[in-house]
A and B are shown apart, each in its own frame.
Chain A
Amino acid sequence: MRCSLSAHQFAAGLGAVTRAVSPRATLPILSNVLIEARDGAVHLLATNLDLTIRHHLPAKIDEPGSITLPAKILSEFVAALPDGTMEWELDASSQTVALRSGPYTAHIRGIDAAEFPQLPVLQGGSRVVLDPIAFATATEQTVVAASVDEGRPLYTGVLTEVADSVLTMVATDGHRLAIRQMGVPETEAGTRTSFIVPARALAELGRLLRPQGGDGAGPLSLKLAQNGTHITFELSGYEVSTRLLEGTYPNYSKVVPETAQTTIRTNTKEFLRTARVVALFARDAANVVKIRSEPGMLTLSANTNEVGDNVATLPATIEGEQLAIAFNARYLLDVLQILQTEEVELVCNGSLAPGLIRPVGDDSYRYVIMPVRVAL
């Protein structure tokens, strides 16, 4: 293998691909990146077997070939290089790559590409095309409600449904639920599909989408594999594939409140700041912040035996009955942090019924938060 390409492009691509490398890989070779030179491009691939990220970038190929190199040292080396042309030459007998860029030369020993695990190649299946930035936002707004605890695997995933040109993403950890909808500009007519994507894979995808999408990258296309066990997201030179979670997602439709005994409207940023300050005093496991409506304002309070207590108020418009309710501060902060509208609405039906948080003027997002029962 012999080729040359832009050091900067390679560094950026490698940085994205290596997000799939697990710091504690189960197989030593999974700490490596697979690098293939063929067809006028260099193809990069990293995987932890659940999540796989592929990328290809243009290169001048003098002699095709492939190798796997340790992701960590390779990333560190190329990230430190000034931009310029980087030349690659593989010595097949020693499986060592010579990397040259301007005055810098490095020799990195790799492992034969033949030892890299064969990954299933997805073919066919349905295809959906999405706006990358909108999808990144939707991802961020749902992933936040997913569980990180493997005890209930389905809850670590995001239910993703496409029906009638609308994509709906849903995540829950059993205590709160996020629902986000977005239009799908291009779908094959009548596409109806539903699958559960691991939240971790979506989070990685979101990170990848932000800088890429910002550069005016092409639309994201979502490709679902034929056998239904994997999904691939494609975006200008990148491909993120992940295993899907199997199972029947709980029926969430009934938990979204449809009535509104109390509707509270307030400034999102101020609500976030107040909740953050008050939450400092909600330090035990229960992490409880109490919310009480008063005419024209909200009172937030928290107390812990060891720390003490803390009360704060913020202006708010209140419609309907007076409210006293308690939430896990974490769940409240999580959602307030990711809302982009200036104002937010909290809709409640008494202190033990689900609360609904939604951005004012944006009907595409709903966040249901279950109260904590305490002495109010």
Chain B
Amino acid sequence: MSESAPTRGRIHQLPPSVADAIAAGEVVERPASVVKELVENALDAGARRVTIEVEGGGLERIAVADDGLGIAAEELALAFSRHATSKIDTVGDLARISTLGFRGEALASIGAVAAVEAVSRPAGVGAAARVTVRGAVVTGPGPAPGAPGTAVTVRDLFGTTPARRAFLRQPRAEAAACVRVAAEAALARPDVAVEVRSEGRRSLTTPGSGQLRDAVRAVFGAAAAQGCRPVELEHEGLRVTGLVGSPAVARASREACVLLVNGRRVHQRGLQVAVENAFRGLLPAGRYPLAVLDVRCDPSRVDVNVHPTKREVRFTDERVAFAAVERACWAAVRGSEPFHLALASGLSPGGKELAALGPPAAWAAAPLPLPAPGASPGTGPGFREEGAAPPPRPLGLEEARHWRPLGQALDQYLVVETGSGVAILDQHAAHEKVLYWGFLEGLRIAEEAAPAAAPAPSQVLLMPDLIDLPPQLVAAFPTQASLLAGVGFDLELFGETSLRCTAVPAGLPAARVAALVEALLAEGLATGALSASERHHRLAAVLACHAAVRFGDRLSPEGIRRLLDDLADTPGGLTCPHGRPTVLLLGDRELRHAFGRS
């Protein structure tokens, strides 16, 4: 967390007045808690390299070794007593915490539920010292061999409290949780080399290069690292930095969203939602963003002393943090690279099946430029900036403006020559996204202005349209009426099973009005359960879906040109509102390879 040179005072027992002010509770819930506490101690001690070993799901053995400041022999035993810390002195310090630890609780808690051995040798001291702890009883210190730094080994976790063991999952799951915690620490501190061994096998090694992308590559793989875009935004004194994965590298679970507040890993539901909001309309259901983000602010604006395991923090103004994260992610992701159509590496004997198209496996992230070598690291807090060279394409599809349409295939796809290959567009998805964005803007503007000030443009109908609906939808109409009016419908009840429509949102083909009204009513958008932005999203998505050209409609050459231009203007145009790709790229390189050209 602190990248400034580590220095520290002596370990001392906090007076009861301070100790009582610290959020109390269980510190060691499972093996991963031990890993977290030990790694955090290593990072607080200024380690450049941390090694973590996990055996028997962490119950048999957890060992964390660092090359940090070390603990003086005479303080070693004290470190294991409760409320003993070198990191704060007074209650006032709690408001300006800049270390991960501050409670003086972790080692004591671990010592109470396991057999612990700690060997430490402070820098500049000739020899190491060792203590052992079992059942909170400390033995030592005595001399021991050891390199500069600290090595803590925890054995037989919960060995004397079998009831606690009963709550744990399978050792394999516990080991995975340990590795995950270590990986998150490695992502939080790309300047520290982290090595993790689980059950004797190496499961993670980060280079400690200081480049977040390197750490992401080690944790999530090369494709993910390539598909990430840098995040950097300041909002009302908060600074959000990090990397966010383009939609092509989204994950099947929320675990790949690693959120840090002032360098501390937090599981803050609100911030998680902010990240997902930024991806709204970019990811299909069941896919979640990959992100490593650090929210930096003055320590006084965030209280870390609210949860016994520090899982959550409390912002003085959570909405500001939420907005900062959402904006930062959106700014980064709106320009994401379009999807690449992956050609299967081997051709089938018939040479026919070039690609096994099973989404989303067949979509791959577009390669991003690698950071320029020798780039000077940024100086500010948060993640260091990568090479100064800006990405060659500032916005994802902006260059679609310069693409040359070749035509329409099967009345479903647009085939286009790009600067460096061929692009295939799903005409419905592409048009849908263009319209979605337009509707969304309209809804936002309407909401910001006084509701009646700028109603959505509304096409008056030549003859009233009677829309027959199932009775339950007609019954739902009164609660939804104002919402529908807001997007441009003039509707009124007409008997028990129909609505009379005299105006529709402008730009909507007349023939689809009935289906659209039915879809909107069925969506049940007027329920108070939805946030305004979620409601806008859904509303715009339904409108766009019905107004867009269909898969199967013939388009004129001018229509194709215009769609390309409009898509280029549409932020996040690479996916439809439901998160499926609008464009697949097939690069010259891939084609040459597939055709067996060198």
Asked if A371 lies at the interface with its beta carbon under 8 angstroms from chain B, I say: yes
Give chain B nearest CB distance to A331 CB in angstroms: 9
Which listed residue, A149, A150, A152, A373, touches B460 by the CB 8 Å rule? A373
Are A285 and B462 also in contact (CB < 8 A) when A147-B510, A155-B511, A174-B511 are?
no
Any B CB within 8 A of the CB of A250: yes
Within the complex, which residue of A174, A306, A328 is in contact with B506, where a contact is CB–CB below 8 Å?
A: A328
Instruction: Given A147-B509, A328-B506, verify A174-B463 contact (CB < 8 Å).
Output: yes
Is B453 on the interface with A (CB-CB < 8 A)?
yes
- Are A373 and B458 in touch, CB under 8 angstroms? yes
Q: Flag whether A176 is at the interface (Cβ < 8 A).
A: yes
- How far apart sit A328 and B547, CA to CA, in the bound complex (Å)? 15
Contacts of A264 in B (CB 8 A): none
Chain A interface extent, by class: 35 or more
Measured CB to CB, the closest approach of chain B to A196, in angstroms, equals 15
In this assembly, does A111 line the interface, its C-beta being within 8 Å of a C-beta of chain B? no
Q: Does B492 contact A (CB under 8 A)?
A: no
Which residues of chain A are near B547, meaning CB under 8 Å? Answer: 285
> Nearest-CB distance from B108 to chain A (Å)?
60
- Contact between chains at A287 and B507 (CB < 8 Å): yes
List B contacts of A328 (CB < 8 A): 459, 506-507
Contacting residue for A255 out of B463, B465, B506, B511, CB 8 A: B463
Write out the residue numbers on chain A whose beta carbons fall within 8 Å of the beta carbon of B566: 283
- Nearest residue (CB) in B for A147 is B511
- Which single residue of chain A is at the shortest CB-CB distance from B490? A373
B507 engages A149 (CB within 8 Å): no
Which of B454, B507, B566: most chain A CB closer than 10 A? Answer: B507
Q: Which one of A151, A286, A372 contacts B511 once the chains associate, using CB atoms below 8 Å?
A: A151
Which of A286, A352, A354 has a CB less than 8 Å from the CB of B507? A286
Q: Does B503 contact A (CB under 8 A)?
A: yes
Nearest Cβ in chain A — how far from B275, in angstroms? Answer: 26
- In this assembly, does B457 line the interface, its C-beta being within 8 Å of a C-beta of chain A? yes
Chain B residues near A14 (CB, 8 Å)? none
Q: Which residues of B contact A255 (CB under 8 A)?
A: 462-463
A149-B550 Cα distance, complex, nearest whole Å: 10
A243 CB, min distance to chain B CBs, angstroms: 19
Asked if A250 and B463 sit within 8 Å, CB to CB, the answer is yes
- Is A370 close to B, CB under 8 A? yes
Residues 488-523 of B at the A interface (beta carbon under 8 Å): 488, 503, 505-512, 515
The smallest beta-carbon distance between A348 and chain B, in angstroms, is: 12
A290 to chain B, nearest CB (A): 10
Complex contact B511–A370 (CB within 8 A): no
**Chain B residues with CB below 8 A from A326, complex form:** 457
User: In the bound complex, do residue B511 and residue A149 qualify as a contact, i.e. CB atoms below 8 Å apart?
Assistant: yes
A140-162 CB mask vs B (1 if < 8 Å, else 0) is: 00000001011110010000000
In the bound assembly, the distance between CA atoms of A284 and B442 in angstroms comes to 11
Q: Which residues does chain A contribute within 8 Å of B458, judged by CB atoms?
A: 372-374
On whether A371 and B463 interact (CB within 8 A), knowing A149-B512, A151-B511, A284-B507, the answer reads: no
* B506, A372: Cβ atoms closer than 8 Å: yes
A197 contacts the other chain (CB 8 A): no
Q: Which of B435, B457, B463 contacts A372 (CB 8 A)?
A: B457
Q: Which residues of B contact A152 (CB under 8 A)?
A: 510-511
- Closest Cβ–Cβ distance, residue B539 to chain A (whole Å): 14
Q: Which of A332-353 contact B (CB under 8 A)?
A: 352
A288 on interface, CB distance cutoff 8 Å: yes
Q: Contacting A149 at CB < 8 Å: which of B435, B438, B509, B562? A: B509
Q: Which of A242-257 contact B (CB under 8 A)?
A: 250-252, 255
Minimum C-beta distance from A304 to chain B (A) = 9
Q: Please, which residues of chain B bring their CB within 8 A of the CB of A147?
A: 509-511
CA gap between A328 and B462 in the complex, in Å: 13
**Which residues from B are CB-within-8-Å of A370?**
459-462
With the chains together, A286 CA to B225 CA distance in Å? 41
Which of B459, B462, B503, B569 sits near A306, CB closer than 8 Å?
Answer: B569
| Contact in complex: B509, A288 (CB < 8 Å) | no
Contact B459 A175 (CB under 8 A): yes
Question: For residue B566, which residue of chain A has the nearest CB?
Answer: A283
* Contacting pair B457 A151 (CB below 8 A): no
Which residues of the partner chain A approach B465 to less than 8 Å between Cβ atoms? 174
- Nearest Cβ on chain B to A280's Cβ, whole angstroms: 11
**Is A80 in the interface zone, CB < 8 Å from B?**
no
Q: Is the CB–CB distance between B457 and A373 below 8 Å?
A: yes
Distance from A31 Cβ to chain B, minimum over Cβ atoms (Å): 16
Whether the Cβ atoms of A305 and B511 lie closer than 8 Å is no
* Contact of A374 with B457 at beta-carbon distance under 8 Å, contacts A174-B510, A284-B507 already known: yes
Q: Which residues of A contact B438 (CB under 8 A)?
A: 284-285
B455: interface (CB < 8 Å): yes
Chain A stretch 284-332: residues in CB contact (< 8 A) with chain B: 284-288, 305-306, 326, 328
Q: Say whether A177 faces chain B, with CB atoms less than 8 Å apart.
A: yes
Residue of A nearest to B513 (CB): A174
A172, CB-defined interface residue at 8 Å: yes
Contact of A175 among B411, B510, B569 (CB under 8 A): B510
Question: Chain A residues with Cβ under 8 A from B511's Cβ?
Answer: 147, 149-152, 155, 173-174
Check: A368 CB closer than 8 A to any chain B CB. Answer: yes
Task: For A250, list chain B residues within 8 Å (CB).
Answer: 463
Check A288 against B462 for contact (C-beta < 8 Å): no
Interchain CA distance A255-B488 in the complex, whole Å: 21
Beyond A255-B463, A285-B435, A305-B441, whether A149 also contacts B453 by CB under 8 A is no
> Which of B503, B506, B562 is the most central at the interface, judged by chain A CB atoms within 10 Å of its CB?
B506
Complexed CA–CA distance, A170 and B460 (Å): 19
B438-455 CB mask vs A (1 if < 8 Å, else 0) is 110100000000000111
The answer on a CB contact under 8 Å between B515 and A368 is no
Question: Is B509 touching A151 in the complex (CB atoms < 8 A)?
Answer: yes
Q: Are A151 and B515 in contact (CB under 8 A)?
A: yes
Output the least CB separation between B511 and chain A (Å).
3
Please tell me if A375 contacts chain B, counting CB pairs below 8 Å: yes
Q: A199 vs B504: C-alpha distance in the bound complex, in angstroms?
A: 24
Asked if B454 contacts A375 (CB within 8 A), the reply is yes
A107 nearest CB across to chain B (Å): 30
List of A residues within 8 angstroms of B515 by Cβ: 151
Q: State the Cβ distance, B483 to closest chain A Cβ, in Å.
A: 17
Tell me if B453 and A375 are in contact (CB < 8 A). yes
A328–B504 alpha-carbon span in the complex (Å): 13
Query: Which chain B positions have C-beta within 8 A of A288?
Result: 457, 506
Please determine whether A371 and B506 come into contact, CB atoms closer than 8 angstroms.
Answer: no
> Would you give the shortest CB distance from B21 to chain A, in whole angstroms?
52
CB distance from A363 to the nearest CB of B (A): 21
Chain A 9-42 near chain B by CB (<8 Å), digits 1 or 0: 0000000000000001000000000000000000
- Across the interface, do B512 and A372 meet the contact criterion of CB distance under 8 Å? no
Q: Which of B382-408 contact A (CB under 8 A)?
A: none
Say how far A308's CB is from chain B's closest CB, in angstroms. Answer: 12
Closest chain B CB from A42 CB (angstroms): 32
Q: Which of A175, A284, A305, A375 meets B462, CB within 8 Å?
A: A175
CB under 8 Å from chain A, chain B span 226-247: none
Complex alpha-carbon distance, A326 and B459, angstroms: 10
The answer to whether A285 touches B463, judged by C-beta atoms less than 8 angstroms apart, is no
A139 to B566, CA, bound (A): 33
Q: Please, how many angstroms separate the alpha-carbon atoms of A228 and B375 in the complex?
A: 79
Give the shortest distance, in Å, between A294 (CB) and chain B (any CB). Answer: 23
What are the 4 closest A-B residue pairs judged by CB atoms, nearest first?
A: A151-B511, A285-B507, A174-B510, A286-B506
Task: Please list the residues of chain A having a beta carbon within 8 angstroms of any beta carbon in chain B.
Answer: 24, 147, 149-152, 155, 172-177, 250-252, 255, 283-288, 305-306, 326, 328, 352, 354, 368, 370-375
Subset of 6 A-B contacts with CB under 8 Å: A149-B509, A172-B462, A174-B461, A283-B562, A328-B506, A373-B459
